[in-house]
């Protein structure tokens, strides 16, 4: 059955040619997804399946969508963040591949949700989410659509947290694979992808020199570790703030200064929140920051920085010296610069993660979707991990693409590892 809604909303279809070239460029460093796409084209595991996807509309996502359509899926796509859409990519998918794309960079809150609703109205049988806004919209506004959905995938930490909360409350109605939890996702995407692209976003937004700066990283999870490591590599002095004693200890032993935000606020030149939590940078922190401090977020939602407090402290007095910089003029003469409206800075001001890392994340997405389709009806409504065979297969394919070979267990080693008899 074809979708009931076939309209689209993209900024400018004439941008398709630029999108075509950039998507092909990204494909060159996505060999794992490319191999999966070729197999899907032959085997058609998604023949006739309607997929609703709420993902960052980037060149890498386009390659995932092309893998799904090669496998026979009919895809409707909207953005998972109002600022992360690459308009040329949206145009290319709509023009060349007839994908129902509803995404425009800079869309306001109402249009963002109307785009998600447009995807829901295509009656997806499979959902792909990044942050869980699509599933939440279906659950709260279109519960009648749930019956037709066989499964879904979730890309990021924050989305998985929301899904687990739904599972706990008993409102999750179909199985969803937590792609984020695959080792070949978070060890690489969250750490190296977010690590590099967050600094890229801050530099593109401001052209700031990182060497010699004090950079405060709030949250030492997978993303925070990557950002701290890359910032140190660029010559910055890194301060970590945490609420988890184990992560804080790890940061201290990794050689970073660890302290509460109340202390870090006085010392930092650049602040990056990446906790998945809300209200991490608040009025009390802004009050003790140095003049000219740069404040950015790379966590999923724009709730980590209390923007209302900045508006209050400045009484709305602000300028926009560069595209992604809002310079708040505080009453006491100091300024604080908010980058990318507090939204994911790597996607707002830069291009998100490099394709080479998204290759693994989206290979997991594609294979997890195939797994759920093959096992339709057999898995109860729950948040499930990416099967270990898929995770290992993605690692194996990526190593092969990188021309890296590794050792194999000898028969003796295999026996040794499986036995408890041999000791000293």
Binding site for ligand NAD (CB under 6 A): 156-158, 186, 190, 194, 218-224, 241-244, 247, 274-277, 280, 298-300, 344, 346
Residue of minimal Cβ distance to ligand NAD: 221
Residue 272's alpha-carbon distances to 177, 197, 200, 356, in angstroms, are 29, 12, 13, 24
Q: Distance between CA 294 and CA 337 in Å, rounded? A: 5
> Per the structure block, which two tokens stand in for 75?
């895809």
Question: Which residue, 303 or 379, is less far from ligand NAD as judged by CB?
Answer: 303
Query: Judged by CB, which is closer to ligand NAD: 74, or 359?
Result: 359
- Distance in angstroms (rounded) separating the CA atoms of residues 303 and 342: 8
d(CA 301, CA 57): 16
In the beta sheet, which residues pair with residue 270? Answer: 215, 294
Give the residue with the Cβ less far from ligand NAD, 88 or 304: 304
Distances, alpha carbon 341 to alpha carbons 130, 195, 318, 338, 353, in Å: 19, 19, 13, 6, 19
CA-based R_g, the chain, Å: 22
**Residue with smaller CB distance to ligand NAD, 52 or 299:** 299
CB of 222 to ligand NAD, least distance (A): 4
- Least Cβ distance, residue 218 to ligand NAD (angstroms): 5
Contact status, residue 323 vs residue 204, Cβ threshold 8 Å: no
Phi, psi of 13, rounded to the nearest 5 degrees: -65, -20
CA–CA distance, 99 with 86 (Å, rounded to integer): 15
| Least distance CB 191 / ligand NAD (angstroms) | 8
> Looking at beta carbons only, is 45 or 131 nearer to ligand NAD?
131
Please say which residue, 125 or 364, places its beta carbon nearer to ligand NAD: 364
Residue appearing with tokens 């988890």: 244
Please, are residues 382 and 167 in contact by the beta-carbon 8 Å criterion?
yes
Looking at the Cβ atoms of 71 and 268, the one nearer to ligand NAD is: 268
For 56-174, where are the E strands, in sequence order?
74-79, 100-102, 126-129, 151-154
CB of 213 to ligand NAD, least distance (A): 20
Least gap, CB of 29 to ligand NAD (angstroms): 17
How near is the Cβ of 400 to ligand NAD at its closest, in Å? 25
Q: How far is the CB of 301 from ligand NAD (least distance, A)?
A: 7
């Amino acid at each position: 059955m074809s979708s009931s809604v076939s309209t689209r909303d993209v900024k400018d279809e004439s941008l398709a040619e630029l999108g075509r070239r950039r998507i092909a460029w990204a494909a060159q460093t996505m060999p794992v997804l490319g191999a999966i796409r070729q197999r899907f084209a032959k085997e058609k595991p998604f023949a006739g399946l309607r997929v609703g996807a709420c993902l960052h509309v980037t060149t890498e996502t386009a390659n995932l969508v092309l893998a799904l359509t090669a496998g026979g899926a009919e895809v409707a796509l909207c953005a998972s963040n109002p600022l992360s859409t690459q308009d040329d990519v949206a145009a290319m998918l709509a023009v060349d591949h007839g994908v129902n794309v509803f995404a425009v960079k800079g869309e306001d809150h109402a249009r963002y949700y109307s785009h998600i609703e447009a995807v829901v109205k295509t009656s997806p049988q499979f959902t792909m989410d990044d942050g869980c806004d699509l599933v939440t919209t279906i659950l709260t506004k279109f519960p009648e659509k749930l019956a037709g959905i066989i499964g879904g995938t979730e890309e990021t930490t924050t989305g998985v947290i929301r899904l687990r909360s739904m599972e706990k409350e008993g409102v999750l109605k179909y199985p969803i694979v937590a792609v984020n939890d695959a080792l070949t996702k978070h060890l690489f995407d969250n750490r190296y992808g977010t690590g590099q692209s967050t600094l890229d976003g801050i530099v593109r937004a401001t052209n700031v020199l990182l060497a010699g700066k004090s950079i405060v990283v709030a949250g030492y999870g997978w993303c925070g570790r990557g950002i701290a490591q890359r910032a140190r590599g660029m010559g910055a002095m890194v301060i970590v703030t945490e609420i988890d004693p184990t992560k804080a200890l790890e940061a201290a032993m990794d050689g970073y200064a660890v302290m509460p935000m109340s202390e870090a606020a006085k010392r930092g030149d650049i602040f990056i929140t990446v906790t998945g939590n809300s209200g991490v940078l608040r009025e009390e922190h802004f009050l003790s920051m140095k003049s000219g401090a740069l404040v950015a977020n790379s966590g999923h939602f724009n709730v980590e920085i209390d923007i209302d407090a900045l508006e209050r402290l400045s009484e709305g007095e602000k300028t926009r010296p560069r595209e992604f910089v809002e310079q708040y003029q505080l009453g006491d003469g100091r300024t604080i610069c908010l980058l990318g409206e507090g939204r994911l800075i790597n996607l707002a001001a830069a291009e998100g993660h490099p394709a080479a890392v998204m290759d693994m994340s989206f290979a997991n997405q594609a294979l997890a979707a195939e797994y759920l389709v093959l096992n339709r009806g057999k898995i109860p409504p729950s948040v499930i991990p990416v099967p270990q065979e898929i995770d290992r297969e993605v690692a194996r394919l990526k190593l092969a693409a990188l021309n890296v070979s590794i050792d194999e267990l000898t028969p003796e080693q295999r026996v040794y590892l499986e036995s408890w008899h041999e000791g000293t």
